[in-house]
Amino acid sequence: MIAEKEMTNAVETIGLNLWYGTFQALTDVNIQVKKGIITSLIGPSGCGKSTLLRSINRINERLGYVRVEGAIKVLDENIYARDVEPVQLRKQVGMVFQRPNPLPLSIRENILFGHKIHTPSSLKVSRSEANDIVEKALRQVLLWDKVKDRLKHRAISLSLEEQQKLCIARLLPVKPQVLLMDEPCSALDPKGTEAVEELIWDLRGQFTILIVTHNMAQARRASDECAFMLLGELIEHETTEEIFVTPRHRKTADYIEGRFG
Protein backbone atom coordinates (compact mmCIF):
# COMPACT_ATOMS: atom_id res chain seq x y z
CA MET A 1 0.00 0.00 0.00
CA ILE A 2 2.64 2.46 1.10
CA ALA A 3 4.82 1.67 -1.85
CA GLU A 4 1.92 2.31 -4.16
CA LYS A 5 1.19 5.63 -2.54
CA GLU A 6 4.81 6.61 -3.03
CA MET A 7 4.41 5.90 -6.66
CA THR A 8 1.49 8.18 -7.22
CA ASN A 9 1.97 11.64 -5.75
CA ALA A 10 5.05 13.78 -6.14
CA VAL A 11 3.48 16.77 -4.42
CA GLU A 12 0.56 16.82 -2.07
CA THR A 13 -0.83 19.68 -0.02
CA ILE A 14 -3.05 19.00 2.96
CA GLY A 15 -5.28 21.77 4.24
CA LEU A 16 -2.84 24.41 3.06
CA ASN A 17 -3.58 27.96 4.20
CA LEU A 18 -1.24 30.83 3.52
CA TRP A 19 -1.34 34.44 4.64
CA TYR A 20 0.65 37.45 3.45
CA GLY A 21 0.38 39.49 6.62
CA THR A 22 -3.35 39.50 7.23
CA PHE A 23 -4.31 38.73 3.64
CA GLN A 24 -5.19 35.08 3.08
CA ALA A 25 -3.86 34.05 -0.33
CA LEU A 26 -4.50 30.29 -0.09
CA THR A 27 -7.51 28.73 1.61
CA ASP A 28 -7.62 25.05 2.49
CA VAL A 29 -5.87 23.85 -0.65
CA ASN A 30 -5.72 20.08 -1.06
CA ILE A 31 -4.02 19.14 -4.27
CA GLN A 32 -2.32 15.95 -5.36
CA VAL A 33 0.17 16.29 -8.15
CA LYS A 34 0.84 12.89 -9.65
CA LYS A 35 4.30 11.71 -10.32
CA GLY A 36 5.75 11.79 -13.81
CA ILE A 37 2.96 13.64 -15.55
CA ILE A 38 2.24 17.23 -16.45
CA THR A 39 -0.32 19.02 -14.33
CA SER A 40 -1.43 22.45 -15.42
CA LEU A 41 -2.67 25.05 -12.98
CA ILE A 42 -5.14 27.58 -14.31
CA GLY A 43 -7.17 30.39 -12.84
CA PRO A 44 -7.60 34.14 -13.08
CA SER A 45 -4.77 36.48 -12.20
CA GLY A 46 -4.29 36.87 -8.44
CA CYS A 47 -5.98 33.60 -7.48
CA GLY A 48 -2.82 32.26 -5.82
CA LYS A 49 -1.20 30.06 -8.46
CA SER A 50 2.25 31.56 -8.02
CA THR A 51 1.81 31.54 -4.28
CA LEU A 52 1.07 27.81 -4.35
CA LEU A 53 4.14 27.16 -6.48
CA ARG A 54 6.37 29.27 -4.22
CA SER A 55 5.13 27.33 -1.21
CA ILE A 56 6.18 24.03 -2.72
CA ASN A 57 9.87 24.99 -2.72
CA ARG A 58 9.47 27.08 0.45
CA ILE A 59 10.86 30.19 -1.23
CA ASN A 60 7.99 32.25 0.17
CA GLU A 61 9.60 32.04 3.58
CA ARG A 62 12.16 34.68 2.84
CA LEU A 63 9.32 37.20 3.16
CA GLY A 64 9.11 37.73 6.88
CA TYR A 65 5.36 38.28 6.84
CA VAL A 66 4.25 34.97 5.33
CA ARG A 67 2.44 32.48 7.56
CA VAL A 68 1.59 28.93 6.54
CA GLU A 69 -0.77 26.37 8.04
CA GLY A 70 -1.32 22.82 6.93
CA ALA A 71 1.16 20.49 5.31
CA ILE A 72 2.92 20.04 2.01
CA LYS A 73 4.40 16.70 1.11
CA VAL A 74 7.02 16.47 -1.57
CA LEU A 75 7.97 12.90 -2.49
CA ASP A 76 6.02 11.83 0.57
CA GLU A 77 8.00 13.92 3.03
CA ASN A 78 6.48 16.79 4.92
CA ILE A 79 8.58 19.77 3.84
CA TYR A 80 7.67 21.74 6.94
CA ALA A 81 9.11 19.08 9.23
CA ARG A 82 11.77 20.43 11.53
CA ASP A 83 14.71 18.56 10.02
CA VAL A 84 14.02 19.64 6.43
CA GLU A 85 16.80 21.69 4.86
CA PRO A 86 15.31 24.10 2.30
CA VAL A 87 18.47 23.87 0.22
CA GLN A 88 17.94 20.12 -0.24
CA LEU A 89 14.28 20.70 -1.03
CA ARG A 90 15.13 23.26 -3.72
CA LYS A 91 17.55 20.83 -5.24
CA GLN A 92 14.68 18.39 -5.76
CA VAL A 93 12.15 21.02 -6.78
CA GLY A 94 13.28 23.31 -9.59
CA MET A 95 11.51 26.55 -10.51
CA VAL A 96 11.12 28.20 -13.91
CA PHE A 97 9.90 31.77 -14.06
CA GLN A 98 7.68 33.84 -16.28
CA ARG A 99 10.52 36.01 -17.52
CA PRO A 100 13.60 34.02 -18.46
CA ASN A 101 16.18 34.97 -15.85
CA PRO A 102 19.54 33.54 -16.86
CA LEU A 103 22.34 34.59 -14.53
CA PRO A 104 24.83 37.22 -15.71
CA LEU A 105 27.32 34.49 -16.60
CA SER A 106 28.23 32.52 -19.69
CA ILE A 107 25.92 29.84 -21.05
CA ARG A 108 28.26 27.21 -19.68
CA GLU A 109 28.50 28.79 -16.23
CA ASN A 110 24.73 29.08 -16.06
CA ILE A 111 24.41 25.32 -16.47
CA LEU A 112 27.15 24.64 -13.94
CA PHE A 113 25.92 27.11 -11.34
CA GLY A 114 23.39 24.85 -9.64
CA HIS A 115 25.77 21.95 -9.71
CA LYS A 116 28.53 24.04 -8.14
CA ILE A 117 26.50 25.37 -5.25
CA HIS A 118 25.45 21.85 -4.33
CA THR A 119 28.98 20.44 -4.54
CA PRO A 120 31.46 20.98 -1.73
CA SER A 121 34.25 23.23 -2.97
CA SER A 122 36.82 20.65 -1.87
CA LEU A 123 35.37 18.30 -4.48
CA LYS A 124 36.88 19.71 -7.64
CA VAL A 125 34.80 19.08 -10.73
CA SER A 126 37.13 18.11 -13.53
CA ARG A 127 36.91 19.90 -16.85
CA SER A 128 35.74 16.88 -18.78
CA GLU A 129 33.14 16.13 -16.13
CA ALA A 130 31.91 19.70 -16.36
CA ASN A 131 31.79 19.46 -20.14
CA ASP A 132 29.67 16.34 -19.88
CA ILE A 133 27.27 18.01 -17.48
CA VAL A 134 26.87 21.00 -19.78
CA GLU A 135 26.38 18.90 -22.88
CA LYS A 136 23.88 16.56 -21.26
CA ALA A 137 21.75 19.35 -19.84
CA LEU A 138 21.74 21.30 -23.08
CA ARG A 139 20.88 18.19 -25.07
CA GLN A 140 17.98 17.52 -22.74
CA VAL A 141 16.48 20.91 -23.61
CA LEU A 142 17.25 20.54 -27.32
CA LEU A 143 19.66 23.46 -27.26
CA TRP A 144 23.01 21.74 -27.65
CA ASP A 145 23.35 21.93 -31.42
CA LYS A 146 22.43 25.59 -31.44
CA VAL A 147 24.82 26.80 -28.75
CA LYS A 148 27.64 24.26 -28.61
CA ASP A 149 29.99 26.67 -30.42
CA ARG A 150 29.31 29.61 -28.13
CA LEU A 151 29.21 28.19 -24.65
CA LYS A 152 31.44 31.01 -23.45
CA HIS A 153 29.03 33.68 -24.67
CA ARG A 154 26.84 35.50 -22.24
CA ALA A 155 23.52 33.81 -21.64
CA ILE A 156 21.79 37.11 -22.22
CA SER A 157 22.90 37.03 -25.86
CA LEU A 158 20.47 34.17 -26.53
CA SER A 159 16.94 34.73 -27.78
CA LEU A 160 14.20 34.72 -25.15
CA GLU A 161 13.11 31.26 -26.18
CA GLU A 162 16.65 29.95 -25.86
CA GLN A 163 17.08 31.74 -22.54
CA GLN A 164 14.00 30.03 -21.18
CA LYS A 165 15.28 26.66 -22.34
CA LEU A 166 18.58 27.46 -20.66
CA CYS A 167 16.72 28.28 -17.45
CA ILE A 168 15.17 24.82 -17.61
CA ALA A 169 18.49 23.22 -18.49
CA ARG A 170 20.34 24.75 -15.54
CA LEU A 171 18.01 22.93 -13.15
CA LEU A 172 18.75 19.50 -14.57
CA PRO A 173 22.37 18.78 -13.49
CA VAL A 174 21.31 18.42 -9.84
CA LYS A 175 18.66 15.88 -10.90
CA PRO A 176 15.47 17.41 -9.58
CA GLN A 177 12.31 15.33 -9.41
CA VAL A 178 9.78 18.11 -9.63
CA LEU A 179 9.77 21.09 -11.97
CA LEU A 180 7.56 24.04 -11.11
CA MET A 181 6.92 26.40 -14.01
CA ASP A 182 5.22 29.74 -13.52
CA GLU A 183 3.81 30.80 -16.89
CA PRO A 184 7.04 29.83 -18.63
CA CYS A 185 5.85 30.86 -22.08
CA SER A 186 4.06 34.10 -21.40
CA ALA A 187 7.05 36.30 -22.22
CA LEU A 188 7.71 34.47 -25.50
CA ASP A 189 6.40 35.01 -29.02
CA PRO A 190 4.15 32.33 -30.53
CA LYS A 191 7.04 30.45 -32.11
CA GLY A 192 9.03 30.49 -28.89
CA THR A 193 5.95 29.40 -26.98
CA GLU A 194 5.50 26.46 -29.28
CA ALA A 195 9.14 25.45 -28.98
CA VAL A 196 9.21 25.61 -25.19
CA GLU A 197 5.88 23.83 -24.98
CA GLU A 198 7.28 21.05 -27.12
CA LEU A 199 10.28 20.84 -24.86
CA ILE A 200 8.11 20.57 -21.76
CA TRP A 201 6.15 17.79 -23.41
CA ASP A 202 9.45 16.16 -24.25
CA LEU A 203 10.48 16.21 -20.57
CA ARG A 204 7.23 14.51 -19.60
CA GLY A 205 7.88 11.25 -17.79
CA GLN A 206 11.36 12.21 -16.62
CA PHE A 207 10.06 14.82 -14.19
CA THR A 208 6.90 15.70 -12.41
CA ILE A 209 5.84 19.00 -13.92
CA LEU A 210 3.45 21.50 -12.41
CA ILE A 211 2.89 24.35 -14.82
CA VAL A 212 0.91 27.54 -14.35
CA THR A 213 -0.54 28.85 -17.56
CA HIS A 214 -2.86 31.56 -18.77
CA ASN A 215 -3.17 29.94 -22.11
CA MET A 216 -6.17 27.62 -22.22
CA ALA A 217 -5.10 26.06 -25.48
CA GLN A 218 -1.71 25.29 -23.98
CA ALA A 219 -3.22 23.73 -20.87
CA ARG A 220 -5.49 21.63 -23.00
CA ARG A 221 -2.83 20.56 -25.48
CA ALA A 222 0.04 19.96 -23.18
CA SER A 223 -1.08 18.62 -19.83
CA ASP A 224 -2.39 15.36 -18.46
CA GLU A 225 -4.26 16.82 -15.55
CA CYS A 226 -5.55 20.28 -14.91
CA ALA A 227 -6.39 22.13 -11.71
CA PHE A 228 -8.52 25.24 -11.55
CA MET A 229 -8.05 27.79 -8.78
CA LEU A 230 -10.18 30.75 -7.83
CA LEU A 231 -9.63 33.30 -5.05
CA GLY A 232 -7.10 31.15 -3.24
CA GLU A 233 -9.13 27.96 -3.39
CA LEU A 234 -8.72 24.86 -5.46
CA ILE A 235 -12.05 24.50 -7.24
CA GLU A 236 -11.55 21.48 -9.42
CA HIS A 237 -8.78 19.05 -10.33
CA GLU A 238 -9.39 16.40 -12.97
CA THR A 239 -7.82 14.99 -16.07
CA THR A 240 -7.39 17.76 -18.58
CA GLU A 241 -9.92 16.20 -20.87
CA GLU A 242 -12.59 16.13 -18.18
CA ILE A 243 -11.93 19.70 -17.11
CA PHE A 244 -12.27 20.98 -20.64
CA VAL A 245 -15.05 18.73 -21.87
CA THR A 246 -17.19 18.14 -18.82
CA PRO A 247 -16.25 20.55 -16.05
CA ARG A 248 -18.21 19.90 -12.88
CA HIS A 249 -18.25 23.39 -11.58
CA ARG A 250 -20.03 26.26 -13.15
CA LYS A 251 -17.10 28.58 -12.41
CA THR A 252 -14.62 26.29 -14.10
CA ALA A 253 -16.76 26.23 -17.21
CA ASP A 254 -17.12 30.00 -17.12
CA TYR A 255 -13.40 30.51 -16.81
CA ILE A 256 -12.46 28.06 -19.52
CA GLU A 257 -14.91 29.58 -21.91
CA GLY A 258 -13.43 32.97 -21.22
CA ARG A 259 -16.41 34.47 -19.44
CA PHE A 260 -14.12 36.00 -16.82
CA GLY A 261 -10.45 36.27 -15.88
Q: Which is nearer to other proteins, 59 or 71 (CB)?
A: 59
Out of 16, 33, 42, 47, the only residue in the binding site for ligand ADP (CB under 6 A) is 47
Q: What is the Cα–Cα distance from 189 to 161, expressed in whole angstroms?
A: 8
Under 8 Å between Cβ of 143 and 108: no
At its nearest, how many Å lie between other proteins and the CB of residue 91?
5
Among ligand ADP, other proteins, Mg ion, none, the one that 140 touches (CB under a kind-dependent 5 to 8 A) is none
Out of 14, 17, 20, 144, the only residue in the binding site for ligand ADP (CB under 6 A) is 20
At its nearest, how many Å lie between other proteins and the CB of residue 102?
8
**What is each CA distance from 59 to 14, 15, 214, 242, in whole angstroms?**
18, 19, 22, 32
Of 6, 17, 43, 51, nearest to 227 (Cα)? 43
Is 22 among the residues that bind ligand ADP (CB under 6 A)? Answer: no
Kindly list the residues in this chain that would bind Mg ion in the complex (CB under 5 A): 50
Gyration radius from the chain CA atoms: 19
Is 25 among the residues that bind ligand ADP (CB under 6 A)? Answer: yes
Q: Which residues pair with 29 in a beta bridge?
A: 16
Q: Which residues bind ligand ADP (CB under 6 A)?
A: 20, 23, 25, 43, 45-51, 63
